[in-house]
Structure 1
Amino acid sequence: MRWLLVLIPLVSLSPQFTRWTWPVAVVALAGSLPMMWLPTRPGWLLPGGLIVLATASGILWVLHPASLISVVVFTTIFYAARFLPLRAALVIGVVMAAAMTAQFLRYHVSLRSALLDFSMTAVVILLGLVRRGRAARLEQTELALARARTAAEEHAVAAALAERARIARELHDVLAHSLSGLALNLQGARLMLVRDGASPEALAQIERAQQLAGDGLAEARKAVAALREDPVPLERAIDDLLAGYRLDTRAAAELTVRGEPRPVDAATGTTLLRAVQEALSNSRKHAPGARVQVELVYSADEVEVTVLDHQGRRPTPGAVPGYGLRGMRERAELLGGRLATGPGEDGWRVQLTVPA
């Protein structure tokens, strides 16, 4: 179709000229070639083609004024039929037809040549309308695809939120209720042991079990809250973990935040918090009493948390990583993040980076 646009001016002009045939052919090609590369949205090619056409028409006017009208007519009609509103294109078509009629009358063009020119004009109009229809269909298809993608994304988000709400309900109904019942039973058992004069060791074990049940209940509630809430107050949650570490170990623990803090989604926030929690738990076991530094860094498209315990001991060479470390790594990989662990300046370093 595009090559046809180039050949039409040559076909219509060739019967009318002898020694001017080659100059006219060159000018017709110059005015028609830009139309071959016009995309769906013309951008710079439309004004560029008009500039080429104007320059070529000026040259043709000097060479042979009678030939100018055909090149201008075909190119202008195609541009109008392709890009302008239909009403404006109709007006331009009428004007161009009048110009062609005036040319035929002035230069006494034969009936055969006149019919050929009018036929070529009709073909050019048809080509322009066909291109317009194709462009409109392509634009509608792109719009439909964009709407379908948006709908699919919204559906996926809604499904994920519904699944999170379901999991939160299950956790609340099963874990929270079970742990609450366990805590009450342990409290009753402790009272019975006190009444019966049980040994201090037995009472200590019961109290330890009560503490574990309480901690598990608190973690279950945090998990439910993380599933039901989109934004996670990351800095405050890490501060709470460090406060618990200071209370348990009587050691220093501080948080440093770099970059501009911003809300993160529940999955990202929970993963970062679990990494800090696991690192603090390892510090309690392997470096009791060690000072801990936590650094939270917000970059353009990532959030990074680093936990460094000073005087932390390295794992035994060849030791198998614990389930906590393995769980951290799996969480990071699910989010497209990365986990790095190893010796720091004077302790053990855990660094988790996730997209956010």
Structure 2
Amino acid sequence: MTTTTTGNRWRLGAPDWVRWGFVAFPLIISIPYLTGWWAWALFGVTLVASAPLLPAAPGSRPAWVLPAAMPVVVAAAGALWVLDPNSWMSVAMFSTTFYTLRTFGRALTAVVLVSSAVAIVAWAVVHRLDWLNALALFAILIVMVLLAASRRDRAARLEQTELALARAQTATEEHARAAALAERARIAREVHDVLAHSLAGLALNLQGARLMLVRDGASPEAVAQIERAQKLASDGLSEARKAVAALREDAVPAQRAVADLLAGYRLDTGARADLVVAGEPRDLDAGVTTALVRAVQEALSNTRKHAPGVDVDVTLAFAESHVELTVLDRQGRRPPDAPTAGYGLRGMAERVALLEGKLDSGPGEDGWRIHLTVPA
């Protein structure tokens, strides 16, 4: 298992090595041509600023380091390119510019574009480049902008498609659940109207027969047989009523459903998973119960995916006007910030928003924390 995980991390980190190589390789080639302390200073700045491009373990460095380093790499590589026109430092500048355009926000991309444009203008002026070649360099910059915009649009379309598919699947599941509930209600009506009524009539008739036998002085054995038959009919009626109640039940109590989910997590992982119930438990609306249960399901799913085998603490607090749910996985360290919210967290937020509740999700001091409050 450890070997497989390491292999996956290496494959995920391979593009980072490639991006860093587009900066490091031109730097290595330019070493024989570096003259003067300023050239070596730019060399050092470019090399150090490109270090965040290397793959790193999650949470090993602040999230702001990589975006802050990109303008420095572009500016320093552009300056080295101007100083040494025969070097390959333009590759480092253009590749880092494209990566920034494709990955980061508008403010950072604007800074990087301005830095690249200034480097092109400086190169053209210092080396007396004719206007046609200068336009060709700017054309490269424009092509990169268009390619980056195309990649962003494609990624956005894929995300929208996945979101639409997820919503369609959710709608299908809800329709199937509604159909199942309708069938359960139909069966409950049939059991109540036919079996329960028949058993109730049978019990009453047996009671009347017992009274007649006692009145007519029948043998004790005959009376005992009628009493046993009456008891069986009464027990059958009680069980039929329980079956009707179970069929008409829309959802189990929230605390019991959450406890079942934690029991499944303990069986799957062998880790500790505790539930603390505060306040006085009570029956909740089906929508509130569903939101709470789905939140725990999503939290446990994310824990299995991102921090397998860690302990989990769940607190379910009942107040007069609302219910609070807190799920915390005990990773023993502060997890890294998620780059974007996944579809599970988005669906959870949408479900809570429909109930006019509040959802907070993010890294805590020793693990990932999900806290939601819904009116009840």
- TM-score when normalising by structure 1: 0.48
Larger Rg: 1 or 2?
1
